[in-house]
Amino acid sequence: MSRSVLFVCLGNICRSPLAEAALRQECTGSRLNVIIDSAGTGDWHVGQPPDERAQAVATRNGLDIGHFRARQVTASDFHDFDHVIALDGQNLRDLTAMRPARAAARLSLLFDHVAGRSGEDVADPFYGADEDFDQTWTEVTEAAKAIRQWLEAG
């Protein structure tokens, strides 16, 4: 079973790289063959590695994301990926506005995959502290578990 998932936040240096890492970890050893990537709606950080605080929370949880590089989402992503998953409502609105009419990708909000949390945002930790990145990690790992189960069911 082959699937592809693109996580999208604003800068692609905090939340979506962590969501990418969490789903990669979640799918390790699963029967799913999933292509997983992330991107930002903005272009400010294109080519940069994840925020040091995002790298640190990944390291605290046993993962190295230092080789990730930020990129901006493109119209072709809506053709190349089965699922485009927005980290917050503004990301979802921006993606909806740029989605090509005949693109196959299904667009959703990350927390719509988590029972009882539909419609919620993954808060932007960029202007926050280390604890905010721990919170982000908790949220994206909870969602990654639900997304893996959803992909396996589909």
- Positions that interact with ligand 4NP (CB under 6 A): 9-15, 40, 44, 124, 126
- Residue 132 or 152: which CB sits closer to ligand 4NP? 132
In the residue annotation, 124 being an active-site residue is answered as: yes
d(CA 75, CA 104): 11
**Catalytic residue list contains 53:** no
Provide the minimum distance between the beta carbon of 13 and ligand 4NP in the complex, in angstroms, as a whole number: 4
User: Of these residues, 3, 14, 15, 27, which one is catalytic?
Assistant: 15
| Nearest to ligand 4NP of 8, 147 (CB atom) | 8
The structure tokens listed for 122 are 């993954």
Is-catalytic flag, 37?
A: no
Q: Which of 47, 49, 48, 107 is nearest to 77 (CA)?
A: 107
Shortest CB 101 distance to ligand 4NP, Å: 26
14, 88, 124, 148: the catalytic one is 124
Q: How far apart are CA 36 and CA 31, in angstroms?
A: 15
Cα 37 from Cα 105, distance rounded (Å): 14
**Cα(71)–Cα(13) distance, rounded to whole angstroms?**
9
**Residues acting as catalytic residues:** 9, 15, 124
